[in-house]
Amino acid sequence: MRVRSLFYFLGEAVKSIARNGWMSVASIAVVAITLFILGSFMVLNYNVALFTEDIKEQVQIVLYIDDDASEEEKAELQKQLVTHNQLEEVRFVSREEAFERLKEQLGDRSYLLEGYENEAENPLRDSYELRTAVPEDVPEVGREVENFPGVGHVDYGSGVVEPLFQFTGVVRWVGLAFMGGLAVTAIFLIAHTIRLTVYIRRKEIMIMKYVGATDWFIRWPFIFEGTILGLIGAVLPLLIIYYGYQSAVEWMQSNIIFISMIPVEEVIQELLKVLLPLGVALGILGSSISVRRFLKV
């Protein structure tokens, strides 16, 4: 394809998009909505994955020692834990260590802990952090160690984490189905827009054939038109997600302290790799359908 032809095709495609007005807008909008949903799910997915990693790295069971437990009870507890064959790791965390750790986690918000620094004011308890050899054993072992001597309270996150994963799983499937439907609609709308262009340009196409334009010379402007519609439809959700996610990250960081999120640049880089090709693919697919069916060359 020669460069001057390329400019010709682009020019014709842009003219068509402008001339088709609302049909172009509708095509772009449906592509944009489809890709926006996909993009949002990808963002959610990345963050859930990060969150899961965080959790896996964290201890699986935390056992808080009863403040009133006697030294004998504490010794017995330690013995039972260390000899438990389902436990891979048993780590004692003193309340001082726990306090330091919390302070570190809070980072520049550690002023929240002011006034609790001295030994007597420390609100935290001594604890054991336990890791099972097999993650699936967590609930069982968690229930078991609750009855060990000197135990105040046992925390095993499964009660919170599992429903969360189940929920995101359901949302993901519903979203995928919805997105599939929208993608079909997007292809259909683009095909319809291109069909309209073919109709408007039928006289031009006929003359082109008579004066010896090649089939591909006739087809390209329509393919370009579809591609541009798809591309604009991909850029819009990228912009929306960029600014939306950026403010979401800022809001999360100032309101919910413990959740870490993937930085916006990293997310957009990943989305670019997926949404742009998909938008272009939807556009090419839609226009190809109409070029094949309605453009008799």
Partner 1 sequence: MIEMHHLYKQFGSDIMALSDINLTIDRGEFIFIVGASGAGKSTLLKLLLRELQPSRGVLKIFGRDVTRFKNRDVPYLRRNIGMVFQDFRLLSDRNVFDNIAFALRVIGASKREIRKRVPLALEMVKLKDKAFKKPDELSGGEQQRVGVARALVNRPAVVIADEPTGNLDPDTSMDIMNLLSEINIRGTTVIVATHAKELVDHFQKRVVVLENGFLISDRERGVYFNAR
Q: By rule CB under 8 A, what count of residues binds partner 1?
A: 18
Token couple for 183: 């993608």
In single-letter form, the type of residue at position 221 comes to P
- Which residues in 177-206 contact partner 1 (CB under 8 A)? 203-204, 206
Which residue's CB is nearer to partner 1, number 173 or number 210?
Answer: 210
- Which residues in 4-43 contact partner 1 (CB under 8 A)? 4-5, 8
By CB under 8 A, is residue 215 in contact with partner 1?
yes
Which residue's CB is nearer to partner 1, number 170 or number 200?
Answer: 200
Strands of the sheet with 151-156, listed across from one edge: 87-93, 127-132, 61-65, 151-156
Radius of gyration of the chain (CA): 30
Give the interface segment with partner 1, choosing from 31-39, 136-144, 170-178, 211-219 (CB under 8 A): 211-219
CB of 294 closer than 8 Å to CB of 218: no
From the CB of residue 41, how many other CB atoms can be counted at a distance below 10 Å? 17
**DSSP code of 149?**
T
**DSSP code of 66?**
P
By CB under 8 A, is residue 212 in contact with partner 1?
yes
By CB under 8 A, is residue 125 in contact with partner 1?
no
State in angstroms the smallest separation of the CB of 39 from partner 1: 39
State in angstroms the smallest separation of the CB of 10 from partner 1: 14
Give the interface segment with partner 1, choosing from 144-152, 155-163, 208-216, 240-248 (CB under 8 A): 208-216
Q: Is residue 151 helix, strand or coil?
A: strand
Residue span 127-166 as binding mask against partner 1, x where in contact by CB under 8 A, dash where not:
----------------------------------------
Q: Is the dihedral of CA 110, 101, 162, 165 positive or negative?
A: positive
d(Cα 115, Cα 121) in Å, to the nearest integer?
8
**Binding interface with partner 1 (CB under 8 A):** 2, 4-5, 8, 203-204, 206-215, 217-218
